[in-house]
Amino acid sequence: MLPTKRFKTFAISLYAGVPLREDTVTKVALTPFVLRRGTESYPETTQFREQLEHLYGAGFGFDVYKRGDYQIVQFRMDTINDSFVGGDEQLLDRSFAFLGEVLTRPAQENGHFRTSYVQAERETVRKKLESIVNDKMRYAAERSIEEMCKNEPYRLHPLGERKDLPGIEPDTLTASYQEWLQQASMDLYVVGDTTLEEVENLVQRHFNVDRTSSSDYQTQAAVRGDKEVETVVERLNVSQGKLNMGLRTSITYGDPQYAAALMYNGILGGYPHSKLFVNVREKESLAYYASSRYDGHKGIATIQSGIEIPNYEKAVTIIKQQLEEMKSGTISDLEMSQTKAMIRNLLKEMQDSAFEMIAYDFNRQLSGKERTAEELLAQVEHISKEDVREAAEQFRLDTIYFLRDEKEE
């Protein structure tokens, strides 16, 4: 927890993580959807949501996502500080009570989740999985990961697999939930105008759960990328082609080279001054967006761009040239200083957002790596071109994915 008077709210975040596994991924994903339907005290969904409105429309939400080879369920609450609404409404206490009940005392019937909730939320998850194709940028990003990681759990979508849904019944889901509640790694965060003492007291009162068999996160080694580059072309009815590339790297979040990998990504495609934006968009007018992202938890980097379909070869060539420049250390002093300034800005800006501070600390829990934002910043400042070039050697192109139209050439 972090006591501060900087914000007008209390930010509460609960992370529950389990290893990403084919046999549990869909049940775990479905669980928070059912939990947000009702609790013992507010069994009807309208009552549940009205209660949030009584708390001055407390923000309540959840997400299910992948971090490395873990499937993380995150619940968030964002409740305003009582002092702005002129009262002693005990909004923090009531928010903890609410979140605690969501997690530990769901609405039940006959010893399991309400059947109607399980049925409706199965449909909701199914629709969400099916709707991924609607957003072509996101669809291409997810398909390229799926192709690249087809022999690992990471290929799985965090919301699971459609084929599993019909087989998940209220009793099996309830059993899976109870196991998850006991075994998942759980981290609870609070940022706001409160004290550790108050928070400890609130946790004891509202999160009454026996967790004797819970486990900590284990760090995982990155998958080695030493195979030939694979190219996958998929056809759909689209106007714009989506070119996505996946790279493997041995450098992960806890690695001493992590700061150099951040610089690598920043120079390559993290920003509008980066090689990809400048060369693919500004010099060649090939794309509206062209960027890269680095995921240190999994040890991969991705490149994404939306291009005119006939420009595929040209775009691939230009992007590969940028990767070669990174490997040969063709990096200017300006690229170094600009990228350092941008990373510095990102790490400092985090301090202004309660949820971002929480997210940064959660990386520590997940990776087992103690490294404050200040320490990371200091490491970035000391990175040389040679360090970036060495990091570049640890990034290997693995998969090229192209989503294009259905017309024959």
Partner 1 sequence: MESIRYEHLQETLYYEVMDNGLHVYILPKPGFQKTYATFATKYGSVDNHFQVEGQEEVKVPDGIAHFLEHKMFEEPTGDIFATFASHGASANAFTSFDQTVYLFSATEYVNENIQTLVDFVQNPYFTDQNVEKEKGIIGQEIDMYADNPDWRVYFGLIEAMYQKHPVHIDIAGTVESIRTITKEMLYECYNTFYHPSNMLLFVVGGVDPQEVIDMVRSNQEQKDYKPQGSIQRFFEPEPEQVGEARREAKLAVSLPKCLFGFKETDVGLTGEQLLRRDMTTQLMMDLLFGSSTRLFQKLYDEDLISDSFGHEYNSSPQYAFSAIGGDTKDPDQLLARIREEVDAIVEKGFESPDFERARKKKIGGYLRMLNSPENIAHEFTRQQFRGGDFFNMLPLYESITLEDVNLRLREHIRWDQLAVSLVVSP
The residue range among 73-81, 149-157, 316-324, 380-388 that interacts with partner 1, by the rule CB under 8 A, is 73-81
Cα–Cα distance measured from residue 241 to residue 306, given in angstroms and rounded to the nearest whole number: 6
**Contact flag: residue 80 with partner 1 (CB under 8 A):** yes
Of the pair 17, 306, the CB lying nearest partner 1 is at 306
Q: How far is the CB of 17 from partner 1 (least distance, A)?
A: 23
User: Contact 244/144 with Cβ under 8 angstroms?
Assistant: yes
For the record, the structure tokens of 225 come out as 């990328």
Rounded Cα distance between 252 and 233, Å, is 29
Q: Residue 250 or 274: which CB sits closer to partner 1?
A: 274
- Residue 172 in contact with partner 1, rule: CB under 8 A: no
Pair of tokens at residue 85: 């609404």
Q: Provide the token pair at 12.
A: 């509460």
Q: Are strands 241-249 and 300-307 parallel, antiparallel or unpaired?
A: antiparallel
Which of 273, 314, 320, 371 is close enough to bind partner 1 by CB under 8 A? 273
Stretch that binds partner 1, among 22-30, 76-84, 202-210, 221-229 (CB under 8 A): 76-84
Residues forming a β-bridge with 67: 70
Strands (E), 4-91: 9-19, 59-67, 70-80
Give whichever of 65 and 84 is closer to partner 1, judged by the CB atom. 84
CB closer to partner 1, 273 vs 369 = 273
Burial of 254 (0-12, 13-18, 19+ CB in 10 A): middle
Asked if 133 interacts with partner 1 (CB under 8 A), we say yes
The amino acid sitting at 54 is H
**Smaller CB distance to partner 1: residue 288 or 327?**
288
Burial of 364 (0-12, 13-18, 19+ CB in 10 A): middle
**Torsion angle defined by CA atoms of residues 294, 300, 305 and 308, in that order, rounded to the nearest 10 degrees:** 170
Minimum distance, C-beta of residue 254 to partner 1, in the bound complex (Å):
26
CB closer to partner 1, 141 vs 251: 141
Which residue, 155 or 273, is less far from partner 1 as judged by CB?
273
The residue (of 125 and 173) whose beta carbon lies closer to partner 1 is 125
DSSP β-ladder status, 108-109 and 70-80: unpaired
User: Closest approach of Cβ 136 to partner 1, in Å?
Assistant: 5
Site for partner 1 in 217-256 (CB under 8 A): 236-240
User: Is residue 276 a contact point for partner 1 (CB under 8 A)?
Assistant: no
| Residue linked to tokens 């959660």 | 362
Query: Given CA atoms 113, 124, 99, 157 in this order, what sign does their dihedral have?
Result: positive
Determine the 3-state secondary structure of 290 from DSSP. strand
Query: Residue 24 has which token pair?
Result: 């549990």
Alpha helices in 132-193 (DSSP H): 136-148, 170-183
- Tell me which residues in 287-316 interact with partner 1 (CB under 8 A): 287-289, 306-308
Residue with token string 């510095």: 344
State the minimum distance, in angstroms, from the CB of residue 162 to partner 1.
11
Least CB distance from residue 2 to partner 1, whole Å? 13
If the CB atoms of residues 179 and 284 are measured against partner 1, the closer one turns out to be: 284
By three-state DSSP, how is residue 286 classified? coil
Would you say the C-alpha torsion 101, 102, 107, 110 has a positive or negative sign?
A: negative
State the nearest-atom distance from the C-beta of 302 to partner 1, in Å.
Answer: 18
Q: Is 166 in the site for partner 1 (CB under 8 A)?
A: no
CB of 391 to partner 1, least distance (A): 20
Interaction residues for partner 1, span 325-344 (CB under 8 A)? 334, 337-339, 341-342, 344
CB of 314: closest distance to partner 1 in angstroms? 12
Contact (CB, 8 A) for 106 and 113: yes
Looking only at residues 7 through 46 of this chain, which bind partner 1 when binding is defined by CB under 8 A?
Answer: 7-9, 44-46
Tell which one of 40, 85, 196, 227 touches partner 1 (CB under 8 A): 85
Q: Which of residues 90-129 bind partner 1 (CB under 8 A)?
A: 116, 120, 123-124, 127-128
Stretch that binds partner 1, among 174-182, 224-232, 345-353, 390-398 (CB under 8 A): 345-353
Does residue 161 belong to the site contacting partner 1 (CB under 8 A)? Answer: no
Does 379 contact partner 1 by CB under 8 A? Answer: no
